[in-house]
Amino acid sequence: MGFVNLLCCVNMAATAYIQTPDDPLLDALCGELRQRGQQLDLDGHWPAKQLRLCGELGVFRWFLPRHLGGLQWSDEQLTRGYLKLSAACLTTTFTITQRVGACRWLVDTENTAAQEKWLPRLAAGDIYATVGISHLTTSRRHLAEPVLKARDVPGGFVLDGYSPWVTGGSHAAMIVVGATLDDGRQLLLAAPTDTPDVEAGEPSPLVALSASHTGPVQFRNAFLGAETLLMGPADNVMSLRSGSGAGGLQTSTLAVGLASAALESLDNEAQRRTDLLPAAAGLRQEHARLEHDLLATAAGDQVCSSEELRTRANSLVLRATQAALAAAKGSGYVRGHPAGRWCKEAMFFLVWSCPQPVVAAALCELAGLSD
């Protein structure tokens, strides 16, 4: 189903929103995202049409409570939805995660004025918002001085420095940004991007997902009024919301979703070449076990830790994508083939919100030191 036809179906439907992870509209959406995914890798254009369609279909409402205009999907439903989206197009899905991160901080804040200002338009998909908080968790924490400082001044705060990894900063109406006061306390603010002295820099030329337009955002003594404060000041502002730490289920889910796309390609090749069947079957069985444990954990059955899930997901996505490339042979190494793109995208999980124990486990596996 083409983009225009899908939009026509949305406009004609009595209820246009995707209601469950099994909704045929979600499958139609994923088909469209899959068709357009390779072009994103080739031209690096921001996925504006993809995000617009997601907004039309109510994807952004999955993550919001009903009293704020959302569909209030359960964690298990969200995991199933993310699995399908990331198998279709990791770039689009990654940009959605950053948007969702901003929305969730808005949901959790006690600043009702900020909620009323931003959430209705975000739920409808009318605007894009993103986060600039990695420097408070895994990125730049090794530096002696915070990369983004805040000063408490009458009426608000003055921010000076930069947020190094912001997805879609030049396309966002607002960035939930983290900054550090001189006494070490941290705060989160909903920074409108039209604020004077706030400027999104050139996106970083990434190995993959360059269409996410991820790069630095500069704050040059920018004043943000007290009405923009969402959380803090606090010693560890990220701990004020449960599940806000790096390496949670969301990132593992996207890795498992990408692995499933690669394994589908490998399965198709194995139907024509029986020599591939053992490898395809072994990886498929591992994928099924991991997906089962992921969904069980999302449903509240803690079968293993989120750190263990992330370690397993990272390992599987790297091996599954490389298996798809090997099965595709030389054609898979030609720019434009999905197997090559999947391999590049899989490496992203080695650096995206990757806790040190997960990094250590990956290095041990690469060095042949795993059990």
For residue 226, give both structure tokens: 């007290």
**Which residue in this structure is represented by tokens 């490998």?**
266
HEC states along 82-151? HHHHHHHCHHHHHHHHHHHHHHHHHHHCCCHHHHHHHHHHHHHCCCCEEEECHHHCCCCCCCCCCCEEEE
Whole-angstrom distance, CA of residue 35 vs CA of residue 24? 17
Residue type, 187: L
- Determine contact, residues 323/266, Cβ cutoff 8 Å: yes
Whole-angstrom distance, CA of residue 243 vs CA of residue 199? 29
**Which residue in this structure is represented by tokens 């996207």?**
254
Q: Which pLDDT score, from 0 to 100, does residue 353 have? A: 85
For residue 217, give both structure tokens: 């955002």
Whole-angstrom distance, CA of residue 258 vs CA of residue 254? 6
Q: Which pLDDT score, from 0 to 100, does residue 371 have? A: 63
Cα-based distances in Å from 350 to 188, 252, 310: 26, 11, 10
Q: Which pLDDT score, from 0 to 100, does residue 143 have? A: 54
Whole-angstrom distance, CA of residue 164 vs CA of residue 134? 8
3-state SS class at 23: coil
- pLDDT by residue for the chain (371 residues), tens only, comes to 555 555 555 554 445 899 999 999 999 999 999 999 889 989 999 999 999 999 999 999 999 999 999 999 999 999 999 999 999 999 999 999 999 999 999 999 999 999 999 999 999 999 999 999 988 875 544 456 889 999 999 999 999 999 999 999 999 999 999 999 999 999 999 999 999 999 998 999 999 999 999 999 999 999 999 999 999 899 989 888 654 343 469 999 999 999 999 999 999 999 999 999 999 999 999 999 999 999 999 999 988 899 999 999 999 999 999 999 999 999 999 998 999 999 999 999 999 988 889 999 999 998 998 76
